[in-house]
Chains A and B, each alone.
Chain A
Amino acid sequence: MIAEIGHYALVLALFLAILQSTLPLIGAARRNYGWMAVGQSTALVQFALVALAFAALMNSYITSDFSVLNVAENSHSAKPLLYKISGVWGNHEGSMLLWVLILSLFGAAVAWFGGNLPAELRARVLAVQGMIGTGFYLFILLTSNPFTRLVPAPMDGRGLNPILQDPGLAIHPPFLYLGYVGFSVAFSFAVAALIEGKVDAAWARWVRPWTLAAWCALTIGIALGSWWAYYTLGWGGWWFWDPVENASFMPWLVGTALIHSAIVVEKRDALKSWTILLAIVTFSLSLVGTFLVRSGVLTSVHAFAVDPARGTFILLLLLIVIGGSLTLYAIRAPALKGGGLFQPISREGALVLNNLLLSTAAATVFLGTLYPLFLDAIGGAKVSVGYPFFNATFVPLMIPLVAAVAAGPMLAWKRGDLLAALQRLKFAFLAAFVVVLITFYIQWGGPVLAVLGVGLAMWLFMGVLAEYSDRIKLFRAPFGDSWRRAIHLPRSTYGMSIAHLGLAVSVAGIAAAAWQSERIETVRPGDNIELAGFSIHFDGIEQLQGSNYTSARGTFTVTKDGSAIAVMRPERRFFPLQNMPTSNTAIHTTLLSDLYLALNDGDAPGNWTLRAYYKPLVPWIWIGAGIMALGGLLSLSDRRWRVGVAARRARRAPAEAVAKA
């Protein structure tokens, strides 16, 4: 019964979405305010209905109702509660339901917080959201219904893929989807602006917080996914250029470009049609990502729904959404005239450089991901593109980008003085140079690129600090004066500085990966392994019984120069239901470096294969990503998003302005 309620709620949501995508649009064209207002109620009710459907599915999972096909295929009564819950989105149908839940959440948020939007713009934005919703509700109801019943119900379910039974992965998809789907708001704003034929500073100011929120969620989502891969897959890597990782990385790259180019639209009234294009492309890449994963066009560990019928449906959806919006763009965008003119060397120029490099990087990843597919489609060989390609193309684009991030904020709008900016960065340059020298001294003969990377990270870090102290006139004005300036700086400025610092931290972590040491050895209890100055002693192995797995857990005592550092317990788990072993790595972190042990089956009874890694600075990769997201959130809390446009602020008292997340 409860599953049927969920199904019914989803059907109702579909009809509301159809209503939402037509009435407000017609209303906006005819200036009928009653029709325009329909969008708000439908968006709110839609969210309530999808939430109800989601709750119904979650209920079936928690109560282990195996008469629901989806539950029977993906859950098991012996599974811990957390994974019963995360199992809801650990499969194709459920994850699509999560997708529309988040879509309707954003729609409802636009309706709720969009009080300061002009009625026409809000109506059109909500209508576009309704169209996207209509497509995805149809997709779920026609090809991937999570509420299908199974008669007769089996005694127990098939269980969730053991590798997905992990707390990190339980929350990774919701964040990733918040990011993917969050970009739909930027998309809807872009399409609404194209329909209206008007893009101005106010538009950019409305669209930026939504983009920023989605970007923060996506940053966290990608970092979580990478961290999960690092500690579960057991070979110490943290990024594999896997097609599905790339699918989430491309919207992130273009989304990053978007939050920067929207600044130019807001402050300088320039780059309008480019920003609109970025908004469309960002969400399109999110959709293409969904297509690549769901259709089975790419095979990958992530591709849990391999079904050509769904692929065809999604392709049709892509054609309508992306093809339609880009056609609209081709017709309407040429009429968008930019206002602000600027010199190549200026803040705008720096942001254009940022955009060029980020979009080129995204295009590179796109080619690397799809080239093997393309070759196959024209009947060529089956190839896979991996590290060598991305190292040769992606990394060279990132080096000038990171180098420019330090200098960009130093330049003035309209016309900047690069020489003066670089002069103010002389300390940053000096610091980077010293770090490079020290690194060379310690690691003579090591990889040159990594030394360069660490130097770049230092350059960026010091550059951000230099820019900040410049802003508050540190040491150039009395301290009290600087303090006052620091307090009064807008939060968005702090957000920018912190996000850029986070980038520096991540770059250092990525570069330092070159100095890892690893050993892969066959060991027996009693053996000793030396790694990077650590002595790892294999004390023994014990057999354990988990709720739905059996486990062999090794105990290793790590000593350095005779003193004990840690006792590490990597595990090898075996899930009999799926007949699948997983590695539970043991990581000893000092935040400056990780010692990483993974246990594998040995070649004979009593023998074990131990992968031991010493990884300097590796935790900084995710710490940096966290700092970046924090910077984004801080910028999001800036007061100027919540008050209306500057012009309107003058007219109205700030107290009247509607709070906006």
Chain B
Amino acid sequence: MQRLLFVIPVVLFLGLAAYFGLALTRDPSTLPSALIDKPAPAFALAGLGTKPPLARDDFAGQVVLVNFFASWCVPCRAEHPILMRMAEQEKLTLYGIAYKDRPEDAQRFLTQLGDPYSRIGVDQSGRVGIDFGVYGVPETYVIDKAGNIRLRHVGPLTASDLQNEILPLLKQLGRS
């Protein structure tokens, strides 16, 4: 009977090892893709400045990029030249969502650096960000004609992201 006591550690360990083995087959970083190939959450936001408001239904039937940004975020500044290039040289339709930002600050940010967006929604409460599952700005989403999210890019876009990730996907989706 007492011998059994000494077997407990190895039994506990084997259970643990089995569980580690199971855990190994899962990737804890796959969480971000929860909305991939699912419809983009519905939203309707007030526009920034004199621009018209932005709602999900505005881009039904098009392939679009939705970019969450904020004037207070440094990486957003870093990715900004890429966004400008996407809008001016690649002629992509970019929708911006000013995330947890005061409208006047977001406006000043764009006046300073240039405005790559066709429309901008103001998400001052961060509510739409929560629906999209935004971890932190900047984040960029590619949404297809059916309104499904096809790609989520966390962090600033770089030139190589644009070349290797965004543009090929847009081509495949038959951008309009």
Cβ contact within 8 Å between A602 and B28? no
In the bound complex, residues from chain A placing their C-beta under 8 Å from that of B59 are: none
A299 within 8 A of B: yes
Cβ contact within 8 Å between B29 and A299: yes
Residues of B within 8 A of A506 (CB): none
A603 touches B26 (CB 8 A): no
A603 contacts which of B10, B14, B72 (Cβ < 8 Å)?
A: B72
A330 touches B74 (CB 8 A): no
CB distance from B134 to the nearest CB of A (A): 16
Structural contact, B156 and A326, CB atoms closer than 8 A: no
Residue of B9, B31, B72 with most partner-chain A CB within 10 A: B9
- CB neighbours of A602 from chain B (8 A): 72
Q: Which of B13, B31, B74 counts the most chain A CB atoms within 10 A?
A: B13
> Does B110 interact with chain A (Cβ within 8 Å)?
no
Q: List A contacts of B2 (CB < 8 A).
A: 334
Do residues A373 and B9 form an inter-chain contact, with CB atoms below 8 A?
A: no
Cβ contact of B6, chosen from A273, A281, A297, cutoff 8 A: A273
CB distance from B69 to the nearest CB of A (A): 13
Could you tell me which residues of chain B, from 70 to 104, have a CB within 8 Å of some CB in chain A?
71-75, 78, 101-102
Residues of chain B with a CB closer than 8 A to A373's CB: 19, 23, 28
A180 beta carbon closer than 8 Å to chain B: no
Residues A315 and B10 in contact in the complex (CB < 8 Å), given A299-B29, A334-B2, A374-B19: no
Contact indicator A319/B26 (Cβ below 8 Å): no
Distance in angstroms between the alpha carbons of A295 and B29 in the assembled complex: 13
Tell me if A308 is interfacial: C-beta within 8 Å of chain B.
yes
A298 — which chain B residues lie within 8 A by C-beta? 28
Residues in B whose Cβ lies below 8 Å from that of A297: 20, 23-24, 28
B9 with A574: CB separation less than 8 A: no
Instruction: Count A-B contacts at CB 8 Å.
Output: 86
Chain B positions 1-27 with a Cβ under 8 Å from a chain A Cβ: 2-3, 6-7, 9-10, 13-14, 17, 19-27
B103-145: which have CB < 8 Å to A? 105, 108, 112
Distance of B14 from chain A, by nearest CB (Å): 7
- Given A315-B20, A318-B20, A603-B71, A330-B7 contact (CB < 8 Å): yes
B23 in complex: contacting residue of A284, A306, A330, A377, CB < 8 Å: A377
The reply to whether A318 and B27 form a contact with Cβ atoms under 8 Å apart is: no
Q: Does A376 contact B (CB under 8 A)?
A: yes
In terms of DSSP, what is the predominant structure of the interface of chain B? helix
Complexed CA–CA distance, A318 and B71 (Å): 48
CB distance from A67 to the nearest CB of B (A): 23
Minimum CB–CB distance from A604 to chain B (whole Å) comes to 5
A376 and B24 contacting across the interface, CB-CB below 8 Å:
no
User: How far, in angstroms, from A311 to B24 measured CA to CA in the complex?
Assistant: 7
The docked-state distance in angstroms from the alpha carbon of A297 to that of B21 is 10
Classify chain B: how many residues form its interface, as a range: 20 to 34
In the complex, the answer to whether A323 meets B14 with C-beta atoms within 8 Å is yes
Q: Assess the B6–A315 pair: CB atoms within 8 A.
A: no
A98 to B2 CA separation, bound complex (whole angstroms): 42
Query: Is A168 located at the chain interface by the 8 A CB criterion?
Result: no
Q: Are B9 and A382 in contact (CB under 8 A)?
A: no
Write out the residue numbers on chain B whose beta carbons fall within 8 Å of the beta carbon of A605: 108, 112
In the assembled complex, A312 has its CB within 8 A of some CB on chain B:
yes
**Closest beta carbon of chain B to A71's beta carbon, Å:** 22
Shortest distance from the beta carbon of A621 to any chain B beta carbon, whole Å: 30
Count A interface residues, CB 8 Å. Answer: 39
Contact A330 B9, beta carbon cutoff 8 Å: yes
Closest to A281 in B: B9
A635-B71 Cα distance, complex, nearest whole Å: 57
Q: How far is the CA of A329 from the CA of B112 in the complex (A)?
A: 70
Q: How far does the alpha carbon of A621 sit from the alpha carbon of B108 in the complex, in Å?
A: 45
CB <8 Å contact, B21 and A322: no
The answer, yes or no, to whether A638 is at the interface (CB within 8 Å) is: no
CB distance from A333 to the nearest CB of B (A): 5
Choice from B17, B25, B75, B78 contacting A323 with Cβ under 8 Å = B17
| Distance, CA A574 to CA B31, complexed state (A) | 29
CB nearest to A323 among chain B residues:
B13
Flag if B28 contacts A326 (CB, 8 Å). no
Is A490 in contact with chain B by the CB < 8 A criterion? no
Which residue among B10, B71, B105, B112 has the maximum number of chain A CB atoms within 10 Å of its CB?
B10
Distance of A621 Cα from B158 Cα, bound (Å): 42
Closest to A312 in B: B24
CA distance A315 to B25 in the complex (A): 12
The residues of B that contact A330 with a CB separation of less than 8 Å are 3, 6-7, 9-10
Residues of B within 8 Å of A547, CB to CB, are none
How far is A279 from B26 in the complex, measured between Cα atoms in Å? 31
Residues in A with CB closer than 8 Å to B27 are 296, 308
Provide the bound-state CA to CA distance between A323 and B102, in Å. Answer: 58
Given known A-B contacts A330-B7, A579-B75, A299 and B17 have beta carbons under 8 A apart = no
Residues from chain B with a CB closer than 8 A to the CB of A318 are 17, 20
Of B17, B31, B74, B105, the contact of A604 (CB 8 Å cutoff): B105
Task: Let me know if B28 and A376 touch, CB within 8 A.
Answer: yes
Instruction: Tell whether, in the assembled complex, residue B10 and residue A329 are in contact, meaning their CB atoms are under 8 Å apart.
Output: yes
Q: Could you say which of A295, A323, A330 has the most chain B C-beta atoms within 10 Å of its C-beta? A: A330
Name the distance in Å between A411's Cβ and chain B's nearest Cβ.
27
Question: CA–CA, A306 to B24, complex, Å?
Answer: 11
0/1 interface trace, chain A 277-316, chain B, CB 8 Å (1 if under): 1001100100000010001111100000010100110010
- Are A601 and B17 also in contact (CB < 8 A) when A312-B24, A373-B23, A376-B26 are? no
Identify the interface centre among B10, B14, B20: most chain A CB within 10 Å of its CB.
Answer: B20
A-B pairs with lowest CB-CB distance, top 9: A326-B10, A603-B72, A299-B28, A330-B7, A377-B22, A333-B6, A330-B6, A326-B9, A311-B24
| Other A-B pairs beyond A315-B24, A330-B3, A377-B22, 13, CB < 8 Å | A280-B9, A281-B9, A296-B28, A297-B23, A306-B29, A323-B13, A323-B14, A330-B9, A330-B10, A334-B3, A376-B26, A579-B156, A604-B71
A-B contact pairs, 20 of them (CB 8 A): A277-B9, A296-B28, A297-B24, A297-B28, A308-B24, A315-B17, A315-B20, A318-B17, A322-B17, A326-B13, A327-B10, A329-B6, A330-B7, A330-B10, A333-B6, A334-B3, A374-B23, A382-B28, A601-B73, A603-B102
Measured CB to CB, the residues of A under 8 A from B are 273, 277, 280-281, 284, 291, 295-299, 306, 308, 311-312, 315, 318-319, 322-323, 326-327, 329-330, 333-334, 373-374, 376-377, 382, 574, 579, 581, 601-605
